[in-house]
Structure 1
Amino acid sequence: MKLFFVVVVNFVAFVLVDQNKPCPFCVGATVVPDPLVSSMSAPLPPPSFSPTSPIASSMASFSPGIQQGSEGNQMDRHKKPLIALIVTCATLGAVLLSLLCLWFYHRKYKFLKRNAQSSDAEKELALSPFFGKFNSIKMVGNKGSVTVIEYKLIEKGTSNFRESNILGEGGFGCVYQARLDDSLIVAVKKLDCATEDAEKEFENEVELLHKIQHPNIISFLGCSNDGDSRFIVYELMHNGSVETQLHGPSHGSALTWPMRMKIALDAARGLEYLHEYCNPPVIHRDLKTSNILLDANFNAKLSDFGLAVADGAKNNNNIKLSGTLGYVAPEYLLDGKLTDKSDVYAFGVVLLELLLGRRPVEKLAPTQCQSLVTWAMPQLTDRSKLPHIVDPMIKDTMDLKHLYQVAAVAVLCVQPEPSYRPLITDVLHSLVPLVPVELGGTLRVTQAAPPGNPQESSDH
């Protein structure tokens, strides 16, 4: 950009300063002539010379159409600087345009790189203020930019992994609440890595999360190990998971319609970052309500990246089929085809859970199950039935037009054919107008709508 401005300034200065001076291409200028041009036109004879001078004759032999004599020479003197100026301006314009294109490309590449992959220095700088004020936290080593926390500190913070400190359970272990200092409470995932799969998940999650910084992705704070046990330390999410909120003791009572739309929007933003701004792109591969966590203000963040795949669409031949029943896209389950559209399918299931308050798979009998997608699909496209299958906790609390829009987005996301599903960016743009401004969307509520009123009650 600096070069661009320098060229422009110099050009303007040349035009302004020299506009009243003889043109360097005209007769009498103190410019060393080009040999080829000199053989044809330099120097021009004084006015007292004969119009049929040898120089004029020579020029006429090269340019038969040029009139001889003083009038011809006068016209020639005016045309040459004009042509030279036009050529110079055209060349300079092409150079400036090229520089401008390069500048825009550089700015775009720099922006994407900065968002997609934070440098080690940036990550350490971000974590330093967080950890620096706590003297009891001891940094015993570094794996690249990964902070390694002393195991004894984690053991003490969890009260020797007391059962009352368990926040949740996963496939390879539990998540504990830990107090690392009087003012610092975190979440610690303990993994039993006696198996190769567990060790691989641990390494994969640490490798991915320590490079990622985004408001809608869980913050990785450090890791530790002890024997076959591995530990990952995250920021504490005070309101647990979306699964606990929807299907736990409160049955979704804390999640109003606007709050559910905000959660969906936050999750879509996190996925968009993984798909569009990470380099290489990341496929989460295990998106579900239990892996969407809520902080004290109900901001949603994606978590659990043990199964995530970088650039999975191109390198999925050796990827072991993994995921959670009810969220796995049919093409991945049946044919092992993994793309970003697999995450979009899982997002559609999450959206249906928020809308209907049902689990992704429900037991009809001890040996018979039914998926939420199969049960809901015929009713989602029927406007007369849709209002009756909405979660009772939010029934009749939303504008019906918004309800139909969200249902349409969910239907598109869970299409059996991947090519029919939208990109997560398109989903995000569809949700933004349905979320109030104060919750991160663009919806401006002008008046409260009567329950079930299909009339529009908001100004986009």
Structure 2
Amino acid sequence: MGSDLFSTRAFLLFLISIFSLIVFASGQLSYLYSSCGSETPDGDYKTNLTSLLDSQSSKASTYTFYNDTLNQIYSLYLCRGNVNATTCQSCVKTAGQEIQEQCQYNKTAIIWYDECMLRYSNEDFIGTMNTSPWFIMYNVKNKTDSGERDVGALSLKDRLLGEIPYSKLMFQTDERPSTYNASLILYGLAQCTRDINTTSCYNCLFDLWSMIQECCQEKVGWRALGPNCNIRYERYRFYDEVSADPPAPAAAPDNPGGGGNNTIKIAIITVSAITGAAVVLGFFLYFSFFSRKSRRGEQKSEEIPLNVLDRPTGTHFMEGHMHDQDNTVETYYFNLTTILAATNNFSDSNKLGEGGFGPVYKGKLLDGREIAVKRLSTKSGQGLEEFKNEVMLIVKLQHKNLVRLLGCCMEGDEKLLVYEYMANTSLDAFLFDPTKCKELDWDKREAIVRGIARGILYLHEDSRLKIIHRDLKASNVLLDEEMNAKISDFGTARIFGSKQLDANTNRVVGTFGYMAPEYAMEGLFSVKSDTYSFGVLLLEILSGKKNSGLYSTDHSQNLLSHAWQLWNEDKGLEFIDRNLVDKCPVSEAVRWIHIALLCVQEDPNNRPPMSSVALMLGSKWVNLPQPSAPPFSVGRSFMSDLSSTSGSGLGFLISDQSSTSASL
């Protein structure tokens, strides 16, 4: 009898364990974000790392925080202070597997889940407070009623920052009613890794709070996470207390009356329950396997929504999409790991070309989409401001003749722009190539010219912003698979106010040969600066020649003055590309030389706006005024002026036309 009861109790305990496993395993870990370094490990490093992370996961059943080292690899994990041991171990194990898969090309990495954080590096970071990488998430759907800072968050912050550094686990949650609404409960949580001291913990949390101050004061929910600390605030209870282990079943009372039948009933119920549990567990394990595969795919999402690019030292991730003020457009943040995988680790075989600001690589995402990745060179002269400028500008611009930005990435020293891939590279790759130029018949060149004009007109007049491109040139006109023209590279573009006519800069940026004289010499630019560049480009498209060359026996003429002389002598036909002469409407081609000369007049006031240029190109019935002479040998005068401006405070960032074209 006693043996039967013992067996029954054992079965019941086993059953409870089975169902506890099912309940636990059915809960999904909440992946947040990961960041990978840039150095590539060797085979020994990968082997040692796997051993170290496996060891870490075994420790997680006992410790919520642990740091260790193996063969000069350093690692630590931190579980959220209110998760149980089972969840902690599961999270650390999953994080260890996931980070090796995502960051297999890197010697340093960090991954965050809602339940835990894990990081490793080939450099000793244990005991040292780090503030990078970090990211912020906030509630994009809700704001405070007043649109001002949420004072409830301030009161929670003061208490958490004041107590957590001195608490045993460096972890604490807090909740309290709102000062202005007693029925509204506010919730907060903060935590530090326990390898740093109390001062470092406080400073770490305070740094995260300072970042929150910049982006999220009016938000009603947010979190900030870094390598050594994290802090979160919500208007709902987002955490649970530590789960207690299942209570042991109460001892069954003795059955002095001979409980054979009852024992049989218990045994039958137990066996049935175990059978049912086995079936349920089987189904669970089956679906759990496929569910995990699905979740891993979601966790390794290629595109992570981005909201801000404010700081050069952190990785910025915001919950929700990056929107402009009208809340109508968005872009995405790509993991560096995704870009490395897509471009085969920036291999030379994937390199499309070299632009003024760095190389461009072809890539292919997991969903099959082809992309072009512009990798900002540290020696390019385009810094963080130009990078942010390009992202924030192009994301606001939607036009069929502008290249589409898919997203960006900023991790460590890498600043990357991810564009749609343009199958036919850039215009200069065709126009100035002796063989490929023959593919550009009149119809194609005409379509390209009109496309460029429409794109510039959109920037100047039809978009929600007035944009001056400032670097319009053949290599910045990209061609898709149907040879449609799309303007690219907005790193030097500037926004104008709706009534603003011109501006002045002490830092001239652009490309020699395309810059208007007033911009090159005095730093003055306006929409007419782009008109000038368009005129140069139009002459290049008509002639198939670069403006940087010399076109007279005495080497006194550039392309502009050469066009001016031939047009005035009624020899415009001699200016047109030999591949076009017998295959184009000559009168229209000569008319376009006339239009180009109007665009490159020395006085910007005499140049037509792009709306008039588009009209001239579209209708042969529009009367064209007489142009004045273009600036004579602007290249030589500009270079001469450069030598005398060392003390003027006028800085220059000039790229030549020798760079290899790159397709986006």
TM-score range, shorter chain: 0.5 to 0.7
Task: Tell me the alpha carbon deviations over residues 126-155 of structure 1, each in whole angstroms, 9 at most, x when there is no partner.
Answer: xxxxxxxx9664333412333101110100
Measured at CA, do residues 257 and 230 of structure 1 come closer, stay the same or move farther in structure 2, by a change above 3 Å? Answer: same
Q: Distance in 2 between matches of 1:335 and 1:185?
A: 42
Amino acid at match of 2:369: L
- Equivalence for 1:393: 579
Measured at CA, do residues 318 and 418 of structure 1 come closer, stay the same or move farther in structure 2, by a change above 3 Å? Answer: closer
Measured at CA, do residues 267 and 185 of structure 1 come closer, stay the same or move farther in structure 2, by a change above 3 Å? Answer: same
Q: Distance in 2 between matches of 1:394 and 1:137?
A: 49
- Equivalence for 2:610: 424
Task: Tell me the alpha carbon deviations over residues 333-357 of structure 1, each in whole angstroms, 9 at most, x when there is no partner.
Answer: 1222111000000000110011011
- Equivalence for 2:446: 261
Q: Distance in 1 between matches of 2:445 and 2:301?
A: 37
2:507 matches 1:324:
no
Pairing of 1:366-385 with structure 2 (within 5 A): 370-383=557-570, 385=571
Q: Distance in 2 between matches of 1:340 and 1:315?
A: 8
Q: Distance in 2 between matches of 1:139 and 1:347?
A: 35
What secondary structure, in the 3-state scheme, does the structure 2 residue paired with 1:272 have?
helix
- Equivalence for 2:466: 281
What secondary structure, in the 3-state scheme, does the structure 1 residue paired with 2:365 have?
strand
Amino acid at match of 2:431: L
Measured at CA, do residues 170 and 269 of structure 1 come closer, stay the same or move farther in structure 2, by a change above 3 Å? Answer: same
Larger mean CA deviation between 137-146 and 242-251 belongs to 137-146
What root-mean-square deviation, in Å, do the aligned CA atoms of Structure 1 and Structure 2 show?
A: 2.4
Q: Distance in 2 between matches of 1:202 and 1:407?
A: 36
- Equivalence for 1:50: none
What secondary structure, in the 3-state scheme, does the structure 1 residue paired with 2:458 have?
helix
Quick check: 1:380–1:411 contact (8 Å CA) kept in 2? no
- Equivalence for 1:311: 496
Q: Distance in 2 between matches of 1:412 and 1:249?
A: 29
What secondary structure, in the 3-state scheme, does the structure 2 residue paired with 1:296 have?
coil
2:592 matches 1:406:
yes
Which of 342, 349, 356 is the equivalent residue of 2:529?
A: 342
Pairing of 1:61-210 with structure 2 (within 5 A): 137-143=301-307, 144=322, 145-181=330-366, 183-193=368-378, 197-210=382-395
Pairing of 1:7-18 with structure 2 (within 5 A): none
Q: Distance in 1 between matches of 2:366 and 2:607?
A: 47
What secondary structure, in the 3-state scheme, does the structure 1 residue paired with 2:528 have?
helix
What secondary structure, in the 3-state scheme, does the structure 1 residue paired with 2:376 have?
strand
Aligned length: 299
Q: Distance in 2 between matches of 1:148 and 1:183?
A: 18
Amino acid at match of 1:347: F
Q: Distance in 1 between matches of 2:514 and 2:381?
A: 25
TM-score (norm 2): 0.43
Pairing of 1:175-254 with structure 2 (within 5 A): 175-181=360-366, 183-193=368-378, 197-248=382-433, 250-254=435-439
Which of 298, 302, 305 is the equivalent residue of 2:487?
A: 302
**Structure 2: segments with no counterpart, 5+ residues:** 1-296, 308-321, 323-329, 621-664
Q: Distance in 2 between matches of 1:395 and 1:242?
A: 20
Larger mean CA deviation between 374-383 and 213-222 belongs to 374-383
Higher strand share: 2
Quick check: 2:358–2:377 contact (8 Å CA) kept in 1? yes
Identity %: 38
Quick check: 1:193–1:199 contact (8 Å CA) kept in 2? no
Q: Distance in 1 between matches of 2:594 and 2:351?
A: 38
Amino acid at match of 2:528: K
Task: Tell me the alpha carbon deviations over residues 374-393 of structure 1, each in whole angstroms, 9 at most, x when there is no partner.
Answer: 2221112332x211221111
**Structure 1: segments with no counterpart, 5+ residues:** 1-133, 435-460
Computing the radius of gyration from Cα coordinates, the structure with the larger value is 1
Task: Tell me the alpha carbon deviations over residues 392-431 of structure 1, each in whole angstroms, 9 at most, x when there is no partner.
Answer: 1111211222122111111101111111111101111122
Amino acid at match of 1:329: A
- Deviation of 1:225 (Å): 1.9
Q: Distance in 2 between matches of 1:315 and 1:408?
A: 26
Q: Distance in 1 between matches of 2:501 and 2:616?
A: 28
Measured at CA, do residues 408 and 370 of structure 1 come closer, stay the same or move farther in structure 2, by a change above 3 Å? Answer: closer
Measured at CA, do residues 278 and 319 of structure 1 come closer, stay the same or move farther in structure 2, by a change above 3 Å? Answer: farther
What secondary structure, in the 3-state scheme, does the structure 1 residue paired with 2:549 have?
strand
Task: Tell me the alpha carbon deviations over residues 153-188 of structure 1, each in whole angstroms, 9 at most, x when there is no partner.
Answer: 100111111112111212221111001125211111
What secondary structure, in the 3-state scheme, does the structure 2 residue paired with 1:214 have?
coil
Q: Distance in 2 between matches of 1:369 and 1:161?
A: 43
Amino acid at match of 1:170: G
Higher helix share: 1
Amino acid at match of 2:350: N
Quick check: 1:208–1:305 contact (8 Å CA) kept in 2? yes
- Deviation of 1:271 (Å): 0.4
Q: Distance in 1 between matches of 2:551 and 2:560?
A: 15
Task: Tell me the alpha carbon deviations over residues 238-271 of structure 1, each in whole angstroms, 9 at most, x when there is no partner.
Answer: 1111111111352411110111011010000000
Amino acid at match of 1:332: Y
Which of 346, 351, 364 is the equivalent residue of 2:538?
A: 351
- Deviation of 1:229 (Å): 1.6
